[in-house]
Structure 1
């Protein structure tokens, strides 16, 4: 029996074609030359994995590479040498199909139950200094890439900050809450809750609200995201291995990748229905506590959605600026700070990351104070 392959003699950089006779006596012989006859007992045969080339390594260091798998396996079998168990499993279609089902089930189960469970445990286990590191780094990144300087009056900042202070949970679980103001730039009317307790609200959102109670309802919703560690759980589910390393080692530096991931997730990814429901529940319960009508949240969300729809329908002039729109309550911003994005994009960005639904709005409408 003869197999074809390439010979690497260890003396030259290249290879040359070779034919190897596989004898019934268990010896390999090169034809016409290349190496002296050698017993299979002295040859190391690499494991067969699919149809990748295999290597026959001789005692002298000379190596033969071949893809004549069937002939080589038949010869080895005739000598009583069993082929790799891995290849036998690969060749068993029933086993292969079963393995696919098992692997798919494991991945599905991990995605549905395992990773969410793990991300929740990890989010609550992270040390406060890690939360501070992630929050600080995320805000610095957003300031560089997204936010503009706020143009609201300092007195307005203080007025809202004082009211925000009343909303902060009495049992803060080591979280230091603070309110930050930024110009929204291309993301427009929006609010973000960072892991360290920082809540960022944009000027555009403040301008869109018709009263402070609407703003406070949004702030309570964002505080709910902090309390339930939603942003952390979201980023951890996208970076499970990194987060596990941080939890196990307590090393703040290993959280660097979470800082890199957090801004994109906050801006581009919407919270799950479960997370939004939890934050809504928190807001509803505490709006009642502070005497804020539940309808304020629904009013704001409906206005935000309505403004987005109306501005999206605006005709554009040749220079790309939107025509005036008859949209009461939507006049505050019709372009981002640089005029590069249509107004409807900015107005609907909060909706994209905090998707409203008729059910969510109805829940606030039906709530009794």
Structure 2
């Protein structure tokens, strides 16, 4: 390698102090000489590290002792640059690749969040122990009780009648009554609503019971729908997706502190009841199948949803909060059509 000089600045180790000098390259060695011809540093090229160069940025040369040399010429490239570094620079300068990355990276992120993570969540369900699921459900219930639920105002007779229907339904379906528990609460936030927690507790609001007091089949269909969410582990999958998404985004954007908020994020996801449309269809299918098992027809589910929608339409004119339950589910007409066209396997 022929001997030549590169003008630049030498920055001392762990310091912003620098000195103007020349880098002299001679065969396998590099030497830094100041403007007074005094040697500042001498080392082998193999002991140096070249930072990956970018267009418009000087290619820095780092030394083992911690110092670095920055050429004055931002376009200077070291003759002994490794081929790997050169390839990296060419990739970074390639406009087609830059455009492709702008398009492909968001698509990849979308695929990870909306396809990869949900798929992983399905397989992760079996990894959660019953004790973990029970603890998750109770902790979630404690959070929701504090922020969105109040003690029920329903008469004891009404609660007992619904609980009896619930227990009879569980017995006929051979479901564990110790796991599936029904609880009543008054809620201004949820209004007329019902939802299931991962460990099997189903929450029904006073407003929904009063709303459907003349439609027991509609309430039965809704309860079976919520049991379907538990049977298909939708709550666990939702929590797994929320946790994985938080971790992925924290790693990508460098905000690792966000991982500490996973528990709170999981609880809020239950508050929002953001089940996917596929999950809702699974729960609907489960409810229809179990209605048939109990001696009812798939049309009973459709009639229940239709009656619920009719009552909601009437009440919505006075109070829009009555749309709370159906607003978190696929369209009523879609569910009605699915139920009426359902053919038992």
TM-score, normalization by structure 2:
0.77
The equivalent residue for 1:297 is: 305
Q: Kindly tell me: are residues 206 and 97 of structure 1, through their superposed partners in 2, closer, same or farther at Cα, counting changes over 3 Å?
A: same
Query: How far apart, in 2, do the equivalents of 1:123 and 1:199 lie?
Result: 19
Alignment RMSD (CA, Å): 3.7
Q: Does 1:144 align with 2:152?
A: no
Question: How far off its partner does 1:47 sit?
Answer: 2.2
Q: Does 1:160 align with 2:162?
A: yes
Question: Which runs of 5 or more structure 2 residues have no equivalent in the other structure?
Answer: 248-258
Number of paired residues?
319
8 Å CA contact 1:270, 1:352 repeated in 2: no
Question: How far off its partner does 1:300 sit?
Answer: 1.5
Q: How does 1:1-369 map to 2 (within 5 A)?
A: 2-5=6-9, 7-10=11-14, 14-16=16-18, 18-23=19-24, 25=26, 26-31=30-35, 36-39=40-43, 41=45, 44-48=48-52, 50=54, 55-58=60-63, 61-64=66-69, 68-71=73-76, 73=77, 76-77=78-79, 79=80, 82=83, 84=85, 85-96=87-98, 103=105, 106-168=108-170, 170=173, 172=175, 176-209=179-212, 210-240=214-244, 259-292=263-296, 293-294=300-301, 295-308=303-316, 310-311=317-318, 343-344=319-320, 346-364=321-339
Query: How far apart, in 2, do the equivalents of 1:142 and 1:203 lie?
Result: 16
Compare 29-38 and 299-308 and name the one that shifted more.
29-38
Greater relative contact order (Cα < 8 A, sep 6+): 1
Question: How far off its partner does 1:133 sit?
Answer: 1.1
Aligned partner of residue 142 in structure 2, secondary structure? helix
Query: How far apart, in 2, do the equivalents of 1:58 and 1:353 lie?
Result: 60
Compare 228-237 and 47-56 and name the one that shifted more.
47-56
Query: How far apart, in 1, do the equivalents of 2:162 and 2:246 lie?
Result: 37
Question: Which runs of 5 or more structure 1 residues have no equivalent in the other structure?
Answer: 244-254, 312-342
Deviations 1:94-143 (A, max 9, x none): 55555566655544443454222211111244221111111111100100
Question: How far off its partner does 1:80 sit?
Answer: 6.8
Query: How far apart, in 1, do the equivalents of 2:323 and 2:37 lie?
Result: 76
Question: How far off its partner does 1:178 sit?
Answer: 0.5
Query: How far apart, in 2, do the equivalents of 1:9 and 1:151 lie?
Result: 73
